[in-house]
Amino acid sequence: MATTIRNPLEWGWDQIRHGAEAIETLSQSANRPHEDALTVPHVRQIEIGDFREIFQRAWSDFGAYRTDVFFLVVIYPIIGIVMARMVFGYDMLPLLFPMISGFALIGPFAGLGLYEMSRQRELGVKASWRNAFTVLYSPAIGSIVLLGLILCAVFVMWMATAWALYTAIMGPEQPLNLGAFLYDVLMTEAGWTLIAVGCGTGFLFACLALAISVVSFPLLLDRDVGLGTAIRTSFRAVAMNPVPMAAWGIVVAGALVLGSLPFLAGLIVVMPLLGHATWHLYRKVVRPRL
């Protein structure tokens, strides 16, 4: 087969064209103006007591995938340690806690492979970590990527807000070391104000991320719907189940805190449980297709 060497302008134009085609594909996957009442999922009301069944099924999935899941999620504590090292290395101590707590904002995207593993197990597919990567071939991959980018944008906004709050309350001077930072935050009036305002603001960001994504990722994997429909369904799920969803948010936040100890190693167990549980929460909240 003959080969030719293209000039840089021709090569660059091809890359721009391919990029435009990819963006168009993403846009088409997200935009479904003709979805009708038969396509839009029906949301059910649940109770906090349903969490028992949800976590029982999640634990069953975890048992079926135990060895495979350890291989898959060991990357999470490694990423956390790298991020923490970057914070210390670049003298950005005020962002350490916002960065760790902000992991909950992008957690629904990080657990995507775990949802797929639970979905495949429901279909009777033999358990394997390879099931997690079949999501890459999903017809909804464009919408999934866009939704992930939305959550990443929320995370970035949270980090920027946390930094702005710190400088506004504590001043522009950076702490000399970890001990000085902890003293300023825990032992001064300004530090107590920062904790109160920061936690309140973080709660609002967490509510936004929860409303956007609590069932949208599993829905996109399970059904042929657009991104707009998935997000609206997620908002309806929260609106129809405010107390259970608030409890769910508390459970997720508490589990991630526990999973961060010691040195984020607990995430190896916490992440798969939360991921599988999210799939079964979706099954409880969104009525199956008839």
What's the CA gap between 92 and 253, in Å, rounded? 23
Predicted local confidence at residue 189, as pLDDT: 93
Structure tokens given for 121: 């197990």
Q: Residue 13: pLDDT above 80? A: no
CB 225 within 8 A of CB 142: no
pLDDT (average), residues 114-142: 80
Predicted local confidence at residue 1, as pLDDT: 45
Question: Which of 221, 248, 237, 213 minimizes the C-alpha distance to 43?
Answer: 237
Distances in Å between the Cα of 121 and the Cα atoms of 42, 107, 109 are 23, 21, 20
Q: How confident is the model at residue 4 (pLDDT cuts 50, 70, 90)?
A: very low
pLDDT tens column, 89-100 = 656 778 878 887
Q: Of the ranges 10-19, 83-92, 164-173, 243-252, which one carries the lowest mean pLDDT score?
A: 10-19
What's the CA gap between 117 and 58, in Å, rounded? 11
Predicted local confidence at residue 239, as pLDDT: 95
For residue 262, cis peptide bond before it (omega within 30 degrees of 0):
yes
What's the CA gap between 129 and 127, in Å, rounded? 7
Higher pLDDT, 114 or 83: 114
pLDDT tens column, 177-221 = 778 888 889 899 999 999 999 999 999 999 999 999 999 999 999
Predicted local confidence at residue 19, as pLDDT: 47
pLDDT tens column, 34-54 = 554 456 789 999 999 999 999
Residue carrying structure tokens 């589990």: 255
Q: Residue 11: pLDDT above 80? A: no
How many CB atoms lie under 10 A from the CB of residue 93? 20
Predicted local confidence at residue 79, as pLDDT: 63
| Helix (H), strand (E) at residue 160 | helix 141-170
Residue carrying structure tokens 């999210």: 278
DSSP type of residue 265: T
CB 194 within 8 A of CB 168: no
pLDDT (average), residues 143-169: 92
Structure tokens given for 79: 């990423």
Q: Residue 80: pLDDT above 60? A: yes
Q: What pTM did the predictor assign?
A: 0.79
Higher pLDDT, 83 or 160: 160
